[in-house]
Amino acid sequence: MSARAFLKKYCQQKPLLLAVLVVLLSSCTQSGMTPHTGSIAPDPSILRVGVSPNAPPLVYYENGRLTGLEPEFARKLARYVGREVKFVTLDWKNQIPALLDNQIDIVMSGMSITDARQYQIAFSNPYLRSGQLLLVRLDEKPRFSTGIYSLMNSSHIVGTVKGTTGDFFITKNIHGVNMKHFKKPADAVKALINNKIDVFVYDAPMICHYAAVNENNNLVPILTLATEEYNAWGIRKEDTELLSQANAFLEDLKSQQELQRIIRSWIPFM
């Protein structure tokens, strides 16, 4: 079964989610650009874009090249503002510190807007509506039929990626649960396959992606959104010019009906 067919089967079971659930995997690919792992000095002719390339279909490596929705947006934004794009790969936990330290100009890596993040940085207008989903083993799906509420006061071992929205949500709202933190989502998925955790909580596009590519490992998503979130691009508060340009860029894409076309080419609505 193809990834698209797999997701369609499960989404049909939850039709009310179709308006908000981002489902993945376009057959198209985009050329990537060689990312930098070191620092790049500030330069008005360069747009330094921070990415954590472990979040398909938003930003990831394919055949050794950086690809995904965010790199496509980054290239188009750079052309819009008349700058050369340069990607800087960072661990997720280092994205905001690098931005504040002027090591990058913008975070374009599937970051969702939260109050805590807004205290530190500015966000562009949102471009994507999403939320948190659960990934579980197929034979244990009935145990998680109520979605996030299945975790309350349970003995389940819940995997999250440290410092992400899902991690914050579980820590703050779900009591009496055992948590295991991972650096990368792929590590959490491997732990789920190997029975080291019982459930993985992460952003909807990536959960659907990992369910699709791990169908043979009998992983399935629980298609009940635990949260409603909005993805946007992080920018330093004092960089009002770039913030204004990013918002103008998004408005231009919307006016040309390009925003949804680009999003759906990577994470099409079913």
User: What is the dotted CATH code of the domain comprising 46-128+230-266?
Assistant: 3.40.190.10
Q: In the chain, how long is the greatest CA-to-CA distance?
A: 54
User: What is the dotted CATH code of the domain comprising 3-20+132-222?
Assistant: 3.40.190.10
Q: How far apart are the first and last CA of the chain?
A: 16
For the chain, the domains span 3-20+132-222, 46-128+230-266
Question: Distance of CA 5 to CAs 1, 24, 199, 215, 270, Å?
Answer: 6, 11, 23, 11, 10
Pairing of strands 199-203, 157-161: parallel
Per-residue pLDDT of the chain (270 residues; tens, 9 = 90+): 444 444 445 444 444 343 334 333 333 333 335 666 567 899 999 999 999 998 899 999 999 899 999 999 999 999 999 999 999 999 999 999 999 999 999 999 999 999 999 999 999 999 998 899 999 999 999 999 888 889 988 889 999 998 888 998 998 888 878 999 998 899 999 999 999 999 999 998 889 889 988 989 999 999 888 888 999 999 999 999 999 999 999 999 999 999 999 998 887 543
For residue 150, what are its two tokens? 């299945």
Would 3-20+132-222 and 46-128+230-266 be classified into the same CATH topology?
yes
